[in-house]
Amino acid sequence: MKRSKKIMSAFLTGTIVAGMAGSMTYAAEDTPLVVGVTNFNEKFSPLFAEQIYDQDVCDIIFPWLLPLDRSGLPVWNGIDGETREYNGTEYTYYGMADVTMTRNEETNETIYNFKLRDDIYFTDGVNLTADDVIFTLYAFCDPSYDGNQTLYSQNIKGLKNYRANSTAAESVTDEKVAQTLEEMPEELEAQIQSEVITPLLTSEMSWAEENYEGYDMSSAIELFVAFYTLDESYDPGDKTEEEVISDIAAMYGADYATLGANYGDEETLASQANQVASDYLVEQMRESGEGEEVANIEGIKKLGDYEVEITLNGYDATTPYRLNIGVLPLHYYGDESQYDYENNQFGFTRGDLSKMRELMTQPLGYGPYKFVKYENKIVYLEANEDYFLGAPKTKNVQLKETADSDKIPAVQQGTADISDPSGSKSAFEQIGEINGTGELNGEIINTVTTDNLGYGYIGINASTVNVGGDPASEQSKNLRKALATILCVYRDVNIDSYYGEAATVIDYPISNTSWAAPQKSDADYRPAFSVDVDGNEIYTDDMTAEEKYAAAKNAALGFLEAAGYTIENGKATAAPDGAKLSYEIMVGADGKGDHPSFGIMADAKAALGEIGIELNINDLSDTSQLYDSMGAHTTELWAAAWAADADPDMYQIYYSNQPSNHYCISDAALDELIMEARTSDDQTYRKSLYKEALEIIMDWGVEVPVYQRQNCVVYSPQRVNADSFTKDSTPFYRWVKDIALIEMN
């Protein structure tokens, strides 16, 4: 049973967020805190939020069940708090629960136990209990769930059987699914087209309806066709949107990989196709009489009014990051008459999340602020005086849709107090001019920069850039290292020119935001592609830029000669079998060179030309061509950027034969390291494994790490108390986490 709300003075005292201790009194501040943000999608739900600003609203209203600290590590002891050092300062982190993780070696199971606080109340006064957590977990794991969260992909005991409603499901192995997708029976092909291909294309047509004018197109159909047609001669004529979607879907058939590449999210479509194939196999088994119906998820258990346990088969280091979810109130989003834990009823009809979808625009949570309304492109929030970590300092918050070009002027002029313009050289110059000092922090604007959770790179495809058709040979690696060495030496000057202080050059193919990223202070740290074919250092500290460029060309010639090229008078004059004297590099720079890596390519083109290698730059105004080529693994070289996660798992990008392994790297030792790192919970050990993996990737010469750009948040110190603003912001711990502390001047 739910307890009625009890207001206690304890709600208004004590430490409320990381690093701020002591008594806290509620300030009845009438001046709202106005935040300039980019557009909302009005999916204010932990289940369905996709866009970052929708997610920010959710994070404020629904604090995470398992939060992260500034380093991106889980906060296990949320009730009493955990004090951890970051950047020389100690911060204390609090959360909803105390969480323990236990590995049972005998049963090969991992158990997560959640002991919830008993003083958390939803903003309508109803106590949050284990029943709400159970309801939420079942919603995230429902077979009809199609949001961005991937808790359902975890190996929770019995989950696979529950989603398929058959005890036979867990006998469907990944190998069987992969084989079935390769064979692609007609019935499965039709299912993938109807359940994966057509829904995405339909969604993208809706997107085109809202955005075609911004692309200078005459209609949504024109924009849609430009992005997704596989037939350049296709003419939609007078066809309706539905007919065009049908035509384009027919072009793809069941080719979810190509569509995923064009859409820019191969992983999601591959996951959907795998699920359809798995369901297909289960249905085949059901028709033959195998398997029984499944009433619950064996690995999710309620142990008490405030205690929940989740059991997984084996161990997966990514699991804590899938538990970064908000808890939904059963009594609001579900149907209490359909909740009876003992009798396998979990608050809604399996396969029907319609009520939760209907309430996306009217969220009810338990965080520092409660949702009031979304009106005239503004989200209005009001302080939750009964927030379990103490009432917020500022009573009202408005999140206001603002064009990126207007974000800095809005803070300057007072129409916004906080905003997040794109970090760029021009933006930083604009801030410096407004402050009148050239500095990012001044009397008018203060600036907080954090590394973006991702990085820019130049890729080299091992399957198209090799010698003798053997991507893994030493000759092939030397060919790619020759190209990489030249590209690498021009990074500093060009990234500084494009980004200024808004980005830094990196030396390993991993985001600097990751705890696994090598640091310059490490004894074995080495700048990218800085040794020659004999392992000698190419550069010295006293070299000028021009001397470095000359040294790079000389080193590249050494790699080319070792690759089997004929070198005469300082130039490559003939290529070995399977290699070429000319390669193409693709970049989506709008056809006008507007890309961080374009200058690198231009300089490398000139340098390579001087040693006999032609580098043809294909500057694309339509980036879908690049994604098509990457997805089909036909690119030679290209420039792009990776998004990263809090956990540095390399499986998606570098494991052999993965759809997103655009480098076509296939290395058994690398695969073994990636899988071993997934099964360990020792961070120091995992970091050592990832360092070995990074060295293998660099040895293959398939990726040139280029830049780590910064995200930017600006605020007015005249209106926002600077002492109350988040210190040491990181990609994992942004100012939104401390919104309850922010006060107005």
The 10s digit of each residue's pLDDT in 513-544 is: 898 999 999 999 999 999 999 999 999 999 99
- Residue 270 is predicted with a pLDDT of 86
Are 258 and 631 within 8 A, CB to CB?
Answer: yes
pLDDT tens, position by position, 458-483: 999 999 999 999 999 999 999 999 99
The H or E element spanning position 274 is: helix 266-287
DSSP 487: H
Q: Which of 674, 681, 63 is nearest to 320 (CA)?
A: 681
CA distances from 36 to 51, 179, 360, 393, 483 (A): 15, 49, 22, 19, 43
**Which class for 408: exposed (0-12), middle (13-18), buried (19 or more C-beta within 10 A)?**
buried
The C-alpha atoms of residue 526 and residue 508 are separated, in whole angstroms, by 9
Q: Which of 352, 359, 387 is nearest to 128 (CA)?
A: 387
Q: Which of 496, 500, 506 is nearest to 458 (CA)?
A: 506
Strand partners, 367: none
The C-alpha atoms of residue 303 and residue 300 are separated, in whole angstroms, by 10
Terminus-to-terminus CA distance in the chain, angstroms?
43
- Residue 28 is predicted with a pLDDT of 40
The H or E element spanning position 109 is: strand 109-116
Sign of CA dihedral 710, 716, 721, 722: positive
Strand partners, 566: 574
Give 311's contacts (C-beta < 8 A, 6+ positions apart): 109, 110, 111, 112, 156, 157, 298, 299, 300, 301
Q: Which residues of the chain have pLDDT under 50?
A: 1-28
Q: Which of 675, 673, 672, 667 is nearest to 700 (CA)?
A: 667
Q: Which of 679, 672, 712, 690 is nearest to 422 (CA)?
A: 712
The C-alpha atoms of residue 142 and residue 163 are separated, in whole angstroms, by 6
The C-alpha atoms of residue 595 and residue 215 are separated, in whole angstroms, by 18
Q: Which of 412, 367, 419 is nearest to 398 (CA)?
A: 419
Locate the DSSP E strands across 441-565: 446-451, 454-460, 503-505
What is the maximal distance between C-alpha atoms in the chain?
87
pLDDT tens, position by position, 147-178: 878 898 899 999 999 998 999 888 888 889 98
Half-sphere exposure of 606 (CA within 13 A, CB side): 9
DSSP collapsed to 3 states, 166-222 = CCCHHHCCHHHHHHHHHHCCHHHHHHHHHHHHHHHHHHHHHHHHHHHHHHCCCCHHH
CA distances from 497 to 449, 492, 493, 600 (A): 19, 9, 6, 11
Q: Which of 117, 84, 114, 83 is nearest to 100 (CA)?
A: 114
| DSSP track, 129-172 | -HHHHHHHHHHHT-TT--SS--GGGS-BTTHHHHHHTSTTGGG-
The C-alpha atoms of residue 420 and residue 448 are separated, in whole angstroms, by 9
- Residue 261 is predicted with a pLDDT of 78
The C-alpha atoms of residue 153 and residue 284 are separated, in whole angstroms, by 22
Structure tokens at 527: 């700048």
Structure tokens at 614: 């032609």
Whole-prediction pTM: 0.75
The C-alpha atoms of residue 479 and residue 464 are separated, in whole angstroms, by 11
Domains for the chain: give ranges and CATH numbers. Answer: 179-287 (no CATH), 454-644+704-710 (3.10.105.10)
- Residue 23 is predicted with a pLDDT of 31
- Residue 264 is predicted with a pLDDT of 67
Strand partners, 616: 584
Q: Which of 284, 398, 414, 315 is nearest to 717 (CA)?
A: 414
The C-alpha atoms of residue 237 and residue 225 are separated, in whole angstroms, by 11
